[in-house]
């Protein structure tokens, strides 16, 4: 069983690495956002509790999130493990998750943190351009359109998102650091934290991440 948590700031490439890790280890991705939307759509008991809260724009309480994770981990496709993405975000959430995993007799293998300097994140996110019509995303360095500021797909103009200005990005990053630093310390004390540089190409980051994860999984299963 391979049970992993993925943590990282906006722009660190969590989505790309999550997809690669799921394929390598043959485990499902557990996204709290996806679970909430699915529960609301299905009209489950927890979904009915969450729906008015989500509609109001408020944060869904931890006990509902934990209940959804509890249900999800009992599904057959989680028998070989899981990759938890987007939760926990705080130490109280981590403590609640630890209690849940103990009840299900599940051992957490590692908490993978993708690390990147704030200046690199600002440069990466500030370079994003989004089509105003079809919403295709480009990047001034990594994925340029054929014609500057014009969408390849529909020919519409490209825009910079309001939250992708350098000033807005730094505010988001400060909030992330304030919220996540105690969580990293929490998992570091439990010797579960694995920190990997998110600098370089996606392939380079993947090689670094899987090298350390493979060693850790082998040592914990020995």
Q: Which member of 2, 72, 124, 128 is catalytic?
A: 128
What is the residue whose two structure tokens read 């999550």?
18
Backbone angles phi, psi at 115, to 5 degrees: -105, 135
Q: Which member of 170, 172, 195, 220 is catalytic?
A: 172
**14 assigned to active site:** yes
Calculate the alpha carbon distances from 187 to 21, 69, 89, 160, 193 in Å: 20, 19, 12, 36, 5
**129 assigned to active site:** no
**172 assigned to active site:** yes
- CB burial string 26-55: b at 16+ within 10 A, e below: ebbbbbbeebbeebbeeeeebbebbbeeee
**89 assigned to active site:** yes
Q: Which member of 74, 161, 179, 215 is catalytic?
A: 161
Cα 51–Cα 57–Cα 59 angle in degrees, nearest 5: 80
Strands (E), the chain: 2-7, 29-31, 81-85, 110-115, 128-131, 137-139, 158-159, 193-197
Encoding tokens for residue 158?
């490209």
Which residues carry out catalysis?
Answer: 14, 89, 128, 161, 172
């Amino acid at each position: 069983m391979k049970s992993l948590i993925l943590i990282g700031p906006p722009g660190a490439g969590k989505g790309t690495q999550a997809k690669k890790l799921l394929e390598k280890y043959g485990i499902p991705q557990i996204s709290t956002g996806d679970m909430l939307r699915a529960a609301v759509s299905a009209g489950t008991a927890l979904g009915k509790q969450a729906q008015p809260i989500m509609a109001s724009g408020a944060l869904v309480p931890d006990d509902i999130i934990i209940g959804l994770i509890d249900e999800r981990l009992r599904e057959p496709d989680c028998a070989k493990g899981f990759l938890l993405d987007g939760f926990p975000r705080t130490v109280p959430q981590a403590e609640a998750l630890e209690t849940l995993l103990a009840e299900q007799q599940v051992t957490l293998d590692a908490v993978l943190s993708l690390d990147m300097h704030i200046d690199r994140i600002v440069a990466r996110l500030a370079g994003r351009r989004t089509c105003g019509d079809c919403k295709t995303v480009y990047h001034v360095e990594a994925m340029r359109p054929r014609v500057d500021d014009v969408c390849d797909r529909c020919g519409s103009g490209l825009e910079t998102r309001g939250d992708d200005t350098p000033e807005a990005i730094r505010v988001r990053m400060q909030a992330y650091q304030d919220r996540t630093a105690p969580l990293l310390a929490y998992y570091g004390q439990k010797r579960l934290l694995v920190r990997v540089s998110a600098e370089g190409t996606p392939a380079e980051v993947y090689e670094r991440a899987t090298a350390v994860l493979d060693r850790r999984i082998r040592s914990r299963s020995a």
